[in-house]
Amino acid sequence: MPASPKTAPNLNKLLQQKNIRALIFDLDGVVTQTAKLHAAAWKKMFDEFLQNGIENGPKSQPPFSIQTDYPRYLDGISRLDGIRNFLLARNLELPPGQPEDTFEKRSVWGLANYKNELYQQLLQTQGVAIYPDTITWIKQKRAENFRTAIISASKNCLQVLQAAQIENLFDVRIDGNISQERNLKSKPEPDIFLEAARELNISPTNCAVFEDARAGVQAGKAGNFGLVVGVNRKDASEAKALLESGGGLVITQFPGSQ
């Protein structure tokens, strides 16, 4: 069943029924429209790599697909883990390399650094757009005394929040840098959400998780959160994938904005 905007008004009721006191939001694709920029940067980097960079492994490779490769292997996942996932899926192997490697080194770090350069360029040229429905709803819920956290696999999380001037909408932030410092495992493991709940000092069963990535919905489910909401900004087939990943419900917009 495609996610219908009709599901959104149920959300406020569900929070009450399930005794939810805190809301944990993923950043890219739920709060800001930056998942599209990540996907575009990944495509440019991997297509250059697939065309010119393969030394070992099957040489004839289809280009990177934003529709299929991005949600399966990269969405919601840390930069290095995402690259490893994609290479494995294409039967390709690269040495890990060093944190300062450039693209020409053809290492996991080299690819990661080039992708981040491309993502940074997109942030500069296109800017950070928010999802107005999410922001309006967060403000409403904060006024109703819900506590809020932002989580992200991204090391660029704080920069994106600052660019959109929304960092003060969240009591807690657990991002890619903090995950690295604290050794938190990448989604689909629940670590990042559990850490946010811990810092909010609210049991996961009283927290709702909002995620656009399949790996993120799986993480919410694995962490036994009170409510796991798939936020589908794509097409109906993605709604199905989010439900199959463990989403308790899927919405296309937050309530109050239809």
Annotated catalytic residues are 26, 28
Interface with ligand BG6, residue 153, by CB under 6 A: yes
The reply on whether position 82 binds ligand BG6 by CB under 6 A is: yes
Kindly give the interhelix angle for 108-126 and 79-89, rounded to the nearest 10 degrees.
120
Q: How many binding residues for Mg ion (CB under 5 A)?
A: 5
Residue 174 as a binder of Mg ion (CB under 5 A): the answer is no
82 binds, among Mg ion, ligand BG6, none (CB under 5 to 8 A by kind): ligand BG6
Query: Of these, 24, 25, 29, 83, which contacts Mg ion (CB under 5 A)?
Result: 29
Selected from 32, 78, 113, 179, the binder of ligand BG6 by CB under 6 A is 78
| Residue 38 engages ligand BG6 in binding (rule: CB under 6 A) | yes
Cβ neighbours, 10 Å, residue 16: 8
Cα 66 from Cα 135, distance rounded (Å): 26
Instruction: Measure the CA–CA gap between 100 and 207, rounded to whole angstroms.
Output: 39
Q: Taking contact as CB under 6 A, which single stretch among the options 46-54, 127-135, 137-145, 154-162 is the one that binds ligand BG6?
A: 154-162
| Distance of closest approach, residue 100 Cβ to ligand BG6, in angstroms | 16
Q: CB-wise, 72 or 155, nearer to ligand BG6?
A: 155
Identify the residue among 24, 25, 43, 76 touching ligand BG6 (CB under 6 A): 76
Q: List the structure tokens of 21.
A: 């006191």
Q: How far is CA 186 from CA 165, 182, 225, 255, in A?
A: 26, 12, 17, 29
**Which of 23, 212, 223, 245 contacts Mg ion by CB under 5 A?**
212
Asked if 208 and 15 count as a contact pair (C-beta separation under 8 A), the reply is yes
DSSP annotation of 5 reads G
Could you tell me which stretch among 15-23, 149-157, 223-231, 233-241 binds ligand BG6 (CB under 6 A)? 149-157
Q: Does 188 bind Mg ion (CB under 5 A)?
A: no
177-183 long-range Cβ contacts below 8 angstroms, 24+ apart:
179/78, 179/153, 180/155
Least Å distance, CB 45 to ligand BG6, is 11
Considering the rule CB under 5 A, would residue 28 count as an interface residue with Mg ion?
yes
Residues 88-103, buried b or exposed e (16+ Cβ, 10 A)?
eebebebeebeeebeb
- 241: nearest Cα among 49, 4, 72: 72
Q: Is 75 one of the binding residues for ligand BG6 (CB under 6 A)? A: yes
Q: Which helix (H) or strand (E) holds 211?
A: strand 207-211
Q: What are phi and psi of 149, to 5 degrees?
A: -135, 150
212 contact choice in ligand BG6, Mg ion, none (CB below 5 to 8 Å, kind-dependent): Mg ion
Judged by CB under 6 A, does residue 251 bind ligand BG6?
Answer: no
- Report CA 127 to chain centroid distance, whole Å: 18
Q: Is residue 79 a contact point for ligand BG6 (CB under 6 A)?
A: yes
Residues in touch with Mg ion (CB under 5 A): 26, 28-29, 212-213
Residues in touch with ligand BG6 (CB under 6 A): 28, 35, 38, 74-76, 78-79, 82, 116, 119, 152-156, 176, 213
